[in-house]
Amino acid sequence: MHYSSLETIRHDLAQGKITVVSLVQGYLDRIAEVNPTLNLFIEVFEAEALARAKAIDARLSEGKAGVLAGMVVGIKDVICMEGHLISASSRILQGFESQITATVVERLLAEDAIIIGRQNCDEFAMGSSNENSFYGPARLPADPERVTGGSSGGSAASVAAGCCLASLGSDTGGSVRQPAGFCGVYGVKPTYGRISRWGLIAYASSFDQIGPLTRSVADAALLLQVMAGPDGKDHTSSQQPVGTYFPVQEVSGEKFRIAYLEEAMTPHGLDPEVYAAANAWLEARRNEGHEVKPISFPLLPYLVPCYYLLTTAEASSNLQRFDGIRYGYRANQPKDLRDLYVRSRTEGFGEEVKKRILLGAFVLSAGFYEAYYQQAQKVRRIIRDQTTAVLEEFDFIFSPTSPSPAFKVGEKSKDPISMYLADIFTVHANLAGIPACSFPMAFTTGGLPIGGQLSGKPFEEGILLGAVQSFSNSQ
């Protein structure tokens, strides 16, 4: 049972071929089959999902079901759901039960989606491979010896493995899109502020956005339509009117202007098969009559350093609330209060999270704030301004989602620079605050997915998704 869209599920429900209960049971069976090997789910909401499925079957028979009836969704372990544990895949939140439900989850439940469980991720969403989880790495369905990408690796791989129809991830510098590319599914990072962050455990508050991971553009558009819009609980959520994302805009007759960064599209910077696939995609768009042009973006080498300076600064501030005093992990038999703080955090946080907290505290400290943090904020503004200028001339910016296909578990663990550079094409959209979508572009000769990425104008997710669907249909 590998449904690729809600449309096909709803068709089979209407024909009586399945019920929502049998659908959910099928996903639960699939999770039980693959989770011991792939390590995708931390917790499965079996009894709750089946009870909810029974109630939705009744609403469908009465013609009163919501637009997401039949949509079975997993949520990344940084998105809160009241009455369930939440840990951000970290020891320091061990045993903590959420007291709130995230706005995005509330909106999905209101339209009769079913939340099937919480999914493995890099600890506090910090990572590009899902190897930083307290629960161990999630593994790629296409090759369990390889990583899923991160930080929403469990979420992307769950969709690819047929454990749920869709997932919700969070994207701070590519954490929805990069694993989407590795796993061969669609992943959308909306414009900053388009979707409420209420109930999302923060990594870097001026970057974080929740986004859908799906097997079809239509499902991503529908989820975005349901989740988007202002939220009084999140003052960074935009008041900009929500566009029409679903049904997906029909743009197959339009001719677009597509830019690509010439500094990014070089054979020495990309895996050979990624380079070939990206060039083939661009050539296909030219053959369809679209305007495809290289542009110079000299700021490309500064994207990753700027991103890590700013996000680690915000992380060091956000994560100071985890102290072993009020909730979560607490060190045993502390000598005094200081020892309790130090050992709880030392034992509770993983190595990557501690590294980023220390770096963030350093760049915010007296004597270094102006040299690092303030300068990075200036660079971010220049990046945003130059990106805006590009998008005034072009409709979209194209790049591969990642410089390489999924790498092997442990391959980059001792090389943090190489690991951070896996985000070089995805951090751009977060720094500029623009929407971006990773889509399945090709496969390597070994059968590994290769993702492509389109970025668009702020709050124009509708036209972006329309273009992605049109280009995907023509491949």
Active site residues: 76, 151, 175
Amino acid found at 421:
L
Residues 370, 232: contact at Cβ < 8 Å? no
Q: How far apart are CA 299 and CA 379, in angstroms?
A: 9
First to last CA, the chain: 25
Q: Quick one: tokens of 283?
A: 């050539």
Residues 60, 11: contact at Cβ < 8 Å? no
Q: What is the DSSP string of 27-90?
A: HHHHHHHHHHHH--EEEE-HHHHHHHHHHHHHHHHHT---TTTT-EEEEETTB--TTSB--TT-
Q: Cα separations (Å) of 259 from 45, 264, 280, 296?
A: 44, 12, 15, 10
Q: How far apart are CA 86 and CA 365, in angstroms?
A: 31
Residues 472, 255: contact at Cβ < 8 Å? no
The bridge status of strand 396-400 relative to strand 72-76 is unpaired
